[in-house]
Each structure stands twice: as C-alpha cells, then as structure tokens.
Amino acid sequence: MSSKKNLVDQIETLKHKHNAVILAHNYQLPEVQDMADFAGDSLELSRKAAATSADVIVFCGVHFMAETAQLLSPEKTVLLPDDKAGCPMADMAEVEDVVKLREAHPDAIVVTYVNSSAAVKAVSHVCCTSANAVDIVNRIPKDREIIFVPDQYLGKHAERMTNRKMIHWNGHCPTHMRLLPEHIEQARQTHPDALVMVHPESRPDVSTLADEVLSTGGMCRVAKETQAKTVIVGTETGLLHRLSKENPDKRFFPLSEQAICPNMKRCTLEKVVWSLETLQHKIEIPADIADNAKAAIVEMLADGPIVGARTTHG
C-alpha cells in the first residue's frame, strides 16, 4: 500500500495536470482534510470552488454536496471519489412526496435544507443552511405557511428561534440522533468548566441543554473566540481534527464517540488518486432540475422577502 506521503504527492501531480481543486468537508478523515485545498461546510466549499479558476472540482464529501458544487459551477467537472457516499437524511425526502405536500398547502413556502438532493431542491422555493436557517425563515412573510424539508430538528430549531409554526418533514440525521441528553449531563460532570456546543441537527432535548447551537462553521468561529479552554463538541467527530489544529491551546472532546457518519469516512487518499486518474465519478444533473435547484440556492443568497414567486416543477 502506498504511503500517505506518496499518495499526497500523486494527488498534487494529478491536481496540477487537470487544473483541479480539492474540497474536504469538516467531517472527512484527518488525512483527507489535511490534503485538501479547502476544508469547510458544504455550501462554503462550493462557493469557494466556484470562485477559483479550476477546471475540475474533487469533492471529498457526500453526493448532495458534490451536486451543490455542480449547481454553482456548471462549467466545471465535479467529481465524487466514492459514488456510494450518500446521505441518509437527504434520502428521506422524495420529490413526489414533497410535491404532494406542496399541493396540499398551495400557499406555503418550501424551505429545503441544503442536505438534500438537487431534485428536491428543484421543487422548493428556497434553500437554507444550518447557519442561516433562522435568517431564511425570518425573510418569509408572516402570513405564509412554511414547509421545512427534510430535517425536522433543524426546522424545530428555526421554529424556536423565530416563533414561526412550520410543517416539518419527518427526516433526521442518524449521526446526530446518537447525541442524547445524558451525554451532556455526563460531559458537564466530567468537564464542569467546558463550553458545550451542539449542531442544530440535534434533537431538541439535546439542543436546549447546550450552551451554543451552531453550524460547523459557527463552531469553528466560537472555538476561536471562547475563553473556555475545554470545549465539548456535539456533532460528527471529524470536526475535532480541524478544531484542534486551529486552536492548539484548547482541548476538544466529542459529546459522543458514537457520532460518526460512515458515509463521510468513505473518501480516502487512495480514492482521491483514483478519482483524478480516471476523472470519476462525474456529477451530472439534468438541465431542468439544475436550473430550478440553482434558483432555490440563488434565492437563499439574495436579500429581501421570500414570497415564492419563482415557478418550480414537480
């Protein structure tokens, strides 16, 4: 088996050959994060890649993330090193069912978390991230119903923060579902002076016990700003690698060692080499789906009220 250094050298050579940029989500394996040009959350990475002059984007993440990169960089080749790297939560929302719910609530605004397929984004009015979900909901007129897809817990977090009632899709992240109230109680006993931060994909009975409820980007920011020297991190354990690198003077502990997403660990250095050698697996999105899905992302990035004027197709 090739050494890590040899694999990284191969990746660098192939990257220059194909004018490629390599993205790694915060939950990826440490060696994958260290090798990447950019590490971060999915939308942040896609926007950074779109701003580069690269011809090829290698997305070390899961399928919906690579799709988002393709939506924002349609002129670029986007590669997913492991085509089996999916997202169980994204798979919980089927286009046909979202369309049926829209038809049952014709005046509702459909807010879809970016952790969803391009096809589901295409039948939505606007997308959101875990960082801006509250802001997106606040941009929707008070007299409009809101359908939130697919993560019921991010939706319920936004509901609590905005005091807006919503129709929640029955979806969730299996990894964040492993975080329990007793984990926080135990963490506070073991580290009484620690800051406890959790992701808004966590269950409400976990979020309400935490000091901070933050996206991964928010966790990175707060970890730098906090005076606490010990931080409990309630999200996928891969984030601890970045937090520890960026804050060597602080200690980070996972809220649960079980908070591991198997799909996020599928990408390896060997698979990145293979992906660049073969230019596989290419992300391809039908034009009609791509146009509508991108429009939902553009709506998210715009200013002003979200009124659902854009036409979407089932």
Dump pLDDT digits (tens) for 142-196: 999 999 999 999 999 999 999 999 999 999 999 999 999 999 999 999 999 999 9
Q: Is the pLDDT of residue 61 over 80?
A: yes
Residues 231 and 271 in one domain: no
Mean per-residue pLDDT over the chain, rounded: 96
Query: Domain for residue 109, yes or no?
Result: yes
The answer to whether residue 192 sits within a structural domain is yes
pLDDT tens digits for range 251-286: 999 999 999 999 999 999 999 999 999 999 999 999
The CATH number of the domain holding residue 256 is 3.40.50.10800
pLDDT digits 0-9 by tens, 198-228: 999 999 999 999 999 999 999 999 999 999 9
Q: Are residues 234 and 187 in the same domain?
A: yes
Does 78 lie in the same domain as 126? Answer: no
pLDDT tens column, 233-247: 999 999 999 999 999
In a domain, 307, yes or no: no
Q: Which domain holds residue 164?
A: 89-174+289-301
Q: Same structural domain for residues 113 and 238?
A: no
58 and 79, same domain (yes or no): yes
pLDDT recorded at residue 310: 55
Same structural domain, 94 and 105: yes
89-124 pLDDT, tens digit each: 999 999 999 999 999 999 999 999 999 999 999 999
In a domain, 43, yes or no: yes
- What is the structure's pLDDT at 313? 45
Classify burial at 5, counting beta carbons within 10 Å of its beta carbon; exposed 0-12, middle 13-18, buried 19 or more. Answer: exposed
Does a structural domain hold residue 48? yes
Total number of domains in the chain: 3
Pair (185, 209) in one structural domain:
yes
Same domain, 104 and 164: yes
Q: Is the dihedral of CA 234, 239, 245, 246 positive or negative?
A: negative
- Look at residue 314 in the predicted model and tell me its pLDDT: 43
Residue 236 is assigned to a structural domain of this protein: yes
Report percent pLDDT > 70 for the chain: 97
Beta-carbon contacts of 115 under 8 Å, excluding residues fewer than 6 positions away, are 42, 64, 87, 89, 90, 150, 151, 173
Residue 306 lies in a domain: no
Claim to verify: residue 61 and residue 198 sit in the same structural domain: no
pTM exceeds 0.85: yes
The answer as to whether 242 is a domain residue is yes
Does the pLDDT value for residue 312 go beyond 50? no
